[in-house]
């Protein structure tokens, strides 16, 4: 059975055109792009094309694009680079709602190297407080890292504005744009962003490829040191098929961006409005706008997210949840908690993330089936509108 895949913020299907572009570089065109022979030069030329395609999507120069192996590597490179080139500065400013690729790293840097890590709060809609942001940018700040779009809620931060504020204060600005690239038009040359991370598999390229944008003139220290690849900014022989695929995926993203913002957005809105109307005691998490056009995060009170996911899974519908049980941790999503979403809602949150492969019929099926699932689970649940407040009290000392 072909899955109904509404989990595109987790990963996406490799576009058939991307795969087609990649295949020769697994087989007959296997040369090392750094080699001096014509055979190697063929691959090197194709890699240059890929770099130009990525640059075109980002609105920057090709030599500002450094290929990496994933979004996490790009994030690690950016933050550690900034700390290396600003050895006298001890503060890292980021937000409470970042992806674990950033949060895990800064937590580690705090613990092992004693950095002063500031995690900026968000409001109930997931938006940053600009005054708090400005106040956090002290002269001791080595780097600011703020995600472009949130992976759980789709909420978009005003990166052009935030980066300009950092530049005024002489602070390096990095953004984890893994969810935003390909969905939001961007022209980095016209912003003050110094570094930006992206990941291939979130935009219909393969897993294991990413890129880091480094603005020309930005002081930089590499994470991987060795050979001369990527002009010494990222050593290691390039994953040529994957990166050539990334180039094609960026080219396709450009052509599909309008569809992403019209057809996909309309499908998302129909799903969201349909569910909120059909299911009582449900609510949208995060600001309605500005938001990624493909993402909707909805909470269903009195039921638990993992149970919803498993029943959707029975029908071949793939989504994800911010509930504690579905992640293997015991606490619900850090993003929803940072937004102050009460436990009663946070445990029952479901994230739908669509893509250009999503169809009308798929949305129809979810709209038919999900309200029934919620109804079934609510019949099993001891909680309802009448007793929920009361039941939030511990019965077990819990």
Residues near other proteins (CB under 8 A): 123-124, 302-307, 310-311, 313-314, 323-326, 328-332, 337, 340-344, 347, 379-383, 388-389, 391-398
- Closest to other proteins by CB, 2 vs 379, is 379
CB 154 within 8 A of CB 179: yes
Residue in the block written with tokens 């792009």? 33
Of 195, 182, 184, which is closest to residue 248 (Cα–Cα)? 182
CB 74 within 8 A of CB 197: yes
CB 110 within 8 A of CB 90: no
- Closest to other proteins by CB, 139 vs 340, is 340
- Closest to other proteins by CB, 210 vs 322, is 322
- Closest to other proteins by CB, 156 vs 339, is 339
In the residue annotation, 325 being an active-site residue is answered as yes
Least distance (Å) between residue 380 CB and other proteins? 5
Residue of 70, 250, 318, 325 marked catalytic? 325
Sign of CA dihedral 254, 255, 256, 262: positive
CB 241 within 8 A of CB 23: yes
- Closest to other proteins by CB, 1 vs 361, is 1
Cα torsion 78, 83, 85, 89 to 10°: value is: 140
Least distance (Å) between residue 348 CB and other proteins? 9
Number of residues that this document lists for the chain: 398
Q: Which residues make Cβ contacts (< 8 Å) with residue 26, sequence separation at least 6? A: 241
CB 297 within 8 A of CB 285: yes
Residue in the block written with tokens 């709060």? 121
Residues annotated as catalytic (active site), given as ranges: 325
């Amino acid at each position: 059975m072909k899955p109904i895949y509404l989990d595109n913020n987790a990963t996406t299907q490799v576009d058939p055109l991307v795969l087609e572009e990649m295949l020769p570089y697994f087989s007959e065109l296997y040369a090392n792009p750094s080699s001096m022979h014509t055979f190697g030069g063929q691959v090197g030329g194709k890699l240059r094309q890929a770099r130009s395609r990525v640059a075109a999507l980002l609105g920057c120069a090709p030599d500002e694009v450094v290929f990496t192996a994933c979004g996490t590597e790009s994030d690690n490179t950016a933050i550690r680079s900034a700390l290396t080139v600003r050895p006298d500065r001890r503060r890292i400013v980021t937000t409470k709602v970042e992806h674990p690729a950033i949060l895990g790293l800064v937590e580690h840097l705090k613990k092992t190297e004693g950095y002063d890590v500031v995690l900026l709060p968000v409001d109930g809609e997931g938006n940053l407080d600009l005054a708090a942001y400005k106040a956090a940018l002290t002269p001791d700040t080595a780097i600011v890292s703020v995600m472009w779009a949130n992976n759980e809620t789709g909420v978009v931060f005003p990166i052009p504005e935030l980066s300009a504020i950092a530049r005024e204060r002489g602070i390096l600005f990095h953004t984890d744009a893994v969810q935003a690239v390909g969905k939001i038009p961007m022209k980095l040359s016209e912003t003050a962003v110094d570094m930006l991370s992206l990941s291939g598999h979130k935009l219909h390229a393969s897993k294991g490829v990413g890129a880091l944008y480094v603005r020309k003139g930005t002081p930089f220290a590499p994470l991987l040191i060795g050979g001369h690849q990527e002009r010494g900014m990222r050593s290691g022989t390039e994953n040529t098929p994957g990166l050539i695929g990334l180039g094609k995926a960026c080219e396709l993203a450009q052509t599909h961006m309008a569809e992403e913002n019209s057809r996909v957005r309309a499908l998302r809105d129909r799903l969201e409005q349909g569910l909120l109307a059909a299911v009582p005691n449900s609510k949208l998490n995060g600001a309605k706008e500005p938001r990624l056009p493909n993402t909707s995060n909805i909470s269903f009170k009195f039921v638990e997210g993992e149970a919803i996911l498993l029943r959707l899974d029975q029908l071949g519908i793939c989504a994800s949840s911010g509930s504690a049980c579905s992640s293997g941790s015991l606490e619900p999503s850090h993003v929803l908690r940072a937004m102050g979403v009460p436990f009663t809602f946070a445990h029952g949150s479901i994230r739908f993330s669509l893509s250009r492969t999503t169809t009308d019929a798929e949305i129809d099926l979810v709209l038919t089936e999900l309200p029934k699932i919620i109804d079934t689970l609510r019949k099993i649940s001891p909680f309802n509108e009448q007793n929920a407040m009361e039941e939030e009290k511990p019965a077990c000392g819990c």
